[in-house]
Amino acid sequence: MKLAILSNTLSIDACRLFLLATLAGHGASDLALRGRHPYAIYLNTFLVLGLLPEILVNVVFMALSVAHFADDIGTLASSTFHAAIVIISMFISREFAVDVVIFYSVIFHVPMHFITLSDNGEYRAIAVAVVFMFSMGFVSVAWPEMYALAPIDGSADHSWKISFSSFMQLVVCAHVIFSLQPRSVFEENPKHL
């Protein structure tokens, strides 16, 4: 029997689906960073982590999520935030935990991402991310079945059953691993001490 917290499937209304799809697009900035090409990191992440059982992908995803948000708020705050998300998932609801993550991402994480890109003069990366965000948001409204498993029959709020699959988690893991790499890793002639 699988613990509910470890299940990757949940019910989500159309608004949450739109917000999640739109927010997910911010990672597309990886594709347009000057002098940094994510392809090898993404490919290696998929090749290595893709061999792991789903439960281990979940664990790696959570650990990398802690590391990713630590860039925003520090390691202790990120660890505490993620512990709170797990507790909310276990004792209140997974849907409310998703709401907390969406709120944090809208209010803090994605704006910080864009501020960092802007501070580094990565305007092309910002443009690519914005196009992906709008496109993914549009697709979630026009064709929600692209992201969702199935509509929940008879729901007043047009809820969908979605699965945050291992594939989706691997995309996020690759984005985080890429974002954690120092810029010098991607320079043609890195300066070593």
State pLDDT tens for residues 79-132.
999 999 999 989 998 889 999 999 999 999 999 999 999 999 999 999 999 999
* Residues 131-189: tens digit of each pLDDT: 999 999 999 888 887 776 656 555 555 677 777 778 888 889 999 999 888 765 555 54
Strand order in the sheet with 9-12: 9-12, 160-163, 148-151
Q: CA-CA distance, 28 to 14, in Å (whole number)?
A: 22
* Phi, psi (degrees; rounded to nearest 5) at 153: -55, 135
Q: Per mean pLDDT, which range of 46-55, 74-83, 145-154 is the poorest?
A: 145-154
Domain residue ranges in the chain: 8-181
Q: Do 130 and 117 contact (CB within 8 A), yes or no?
A: no
CB atoms within 10 A of CB 80: 13
